[in-house]
């Protein structure tokens, strides 16, 4: 019994950690060359040139956390705070355990303090729990508790049926099995939330200020101003405009060029 459980744990753990974040070396040749050029420019303190090279490298490998991190460093050096925050958010979306990116994002958020709306339950839950764990880890825990609870409870009900048929004493209640089943349901809910979060696209504003318009065009009324570094939920796009929503707040339209895609499915 225990050998079977440990075998399952080992197998699921191997599957969980097999999918590691991509390294720069895993990207295509052009992305690697642009990344190396950007690194050399950054070391020579040509931060503008480095930012441009890293940005071009991202076009070839848009979800490489190391390229995103270095782009954010160079963006910060040339006062492009929106790009820095957006790059770090996407890097952590790809790899929640990227320690340097996490530390830099915390530092930058405290330093810049981009305005945010009052967080609702979902945004608080996403910020405090979902963003801290990768999909693989949550999936592993869900699968583990499913298998573990299933083995214990199936054995229990089989023994209980046997005892009933043979008029024997009922087996002890497997509290570990019921607790594992409860944890399985809990993890399943968290996993569902993680999948939903992966679907919802978000973008970071990369210009100093932008009027939130009531429609997709400059001729529409301005609802309010959003500022550089704010993260916005992207609902839809129409030509050169995107309909966005402040987390827990109002919806409106901004130019697509003012956003840096930071997480979720590709919005365009």
What is the model's pLDDT at position 11? 56
The predicted model gives 45-61 an average pLDDT of 95
The predicted model gives 84-108 an average pLDDT of 93
Residues 6+ away with beta carbon under 8 Å from 32: 24, 25, 57
Domains and CATH numbers, the chain: 2-115 (1.25.40.10), 135-199 (no CATH), 202-263 (2.30.30.40)
> Which of the four pLDDT bands, split at 50, 70 and 90, describes residue 69?
very high
Alpha-carbon 67 to chain mean position: 17
Residues 6+ away with beta carbon under 8 Å from 166: none
- Whether pLDDT at 60 is above 60: yes
DSSP secondary structure, 17-49, as one string: HHSPPPPGGGS-HHHHHHHHHHHHHHHTT-HHH
What is the model's pLDDT at position 111? 79
- Whether pLDDT at 116 is above 90: no
What is the model's pLDDT at position 16? 53
- Whether pLDDT at 206 is above 80: yes
DSSP secondary structure, 220-247, as one string: SPEEEEEETT-EEEEEEEETTEEEEE-T
> Which of the four pLDDT bands, split at 50, 70 and 90, describes residue 22?
low
Least confidently predicted of 115-119, 121-125, 257-261: 115-119
**Whose structure tokens read 């049926």?**
161
- Whether pLDDT at 122 is above 70: yes
> Which of the four pLDDT bands, split at 50, 70 and 90, describes residue 62?
very high
Half-sphere exposure of residue 234: CA atoms within 13 angstroms, side-chain side: 27
The predicted model gives 68-97 an average pLDDT of 95
What is the model's pLDDT at position 173? 86
> Which of the four pLDDT bands, split at 50, 70 and 90, describes residue 234?
very high
Q: Could you tell me whether strands 209-213 and 222-227 are parallel, antiparallel, or unpaired per DSSP bridges?
A: antiparallel
What is the model's pLDDT at position 38? 95
pTM given for the model? 0.84
Compute the distance between CA of residue 34 and CA of residue 135 in angstroms, rounded to an integer: 30
E-assigned strands of the chain? 202-205, 209-213, 222-227, 231-238, 241-245, 251-255, 259-263
């Amino acid at each position: 019994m225990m050998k079977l459980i440990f075998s399952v744990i080992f197998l699921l753990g191997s599957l969980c950690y097999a999918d590691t974040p991509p390294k720069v070396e895993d990207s295509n040749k052009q992305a690697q060359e642009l990344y190396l050029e950007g690194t050399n420019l950054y070391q020579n303190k040509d931060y503008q040139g480095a930012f441009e090279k890293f940005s071009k490298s991202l076009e070839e490998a848009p979800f490489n956390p190391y390229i995103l991190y270095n782009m954010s460093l160079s963006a910060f050096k040339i006062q492009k705070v929106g790009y820095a925050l957006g790059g770090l958010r996407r890097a952590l979306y790809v790899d929640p355990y990227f320690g340097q990116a996490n530390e830099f994002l915390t530092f930058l958020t405290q330093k810049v303090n981009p305005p945010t709306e009052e967080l609702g339950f979902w945004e608080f839950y996403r910020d405090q729990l979902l963003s801290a764990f990768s999909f693989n880890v949550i999936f592993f825990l869900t699968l583990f508790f499913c298998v573990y609870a299933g083995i214990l409870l199936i054995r229990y009900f089989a023994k209980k049926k046997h005892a009933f048929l043979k008029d024997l004493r009922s087996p002890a209640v497997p509290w570990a099995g019921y607790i594992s089943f409860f944890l399985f349901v809990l993890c399943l809910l968290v996993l569902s939330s993680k999948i939903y979060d992966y679907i919802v696209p978000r973008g970071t504003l990369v210009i100093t200020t932008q009027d939130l318009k009531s429609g997709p065009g400059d001729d529409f009324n301005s609802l309010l101003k959003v500022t550089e570094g704010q993260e916005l939920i992207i609902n839809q796009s129409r030509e050169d405009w995107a309909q966005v929503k402040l987390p827990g707040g109002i919806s409106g339209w901004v130019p697509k060029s003012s956003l840096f895609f930071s997480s979720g499915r590709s919005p365009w």
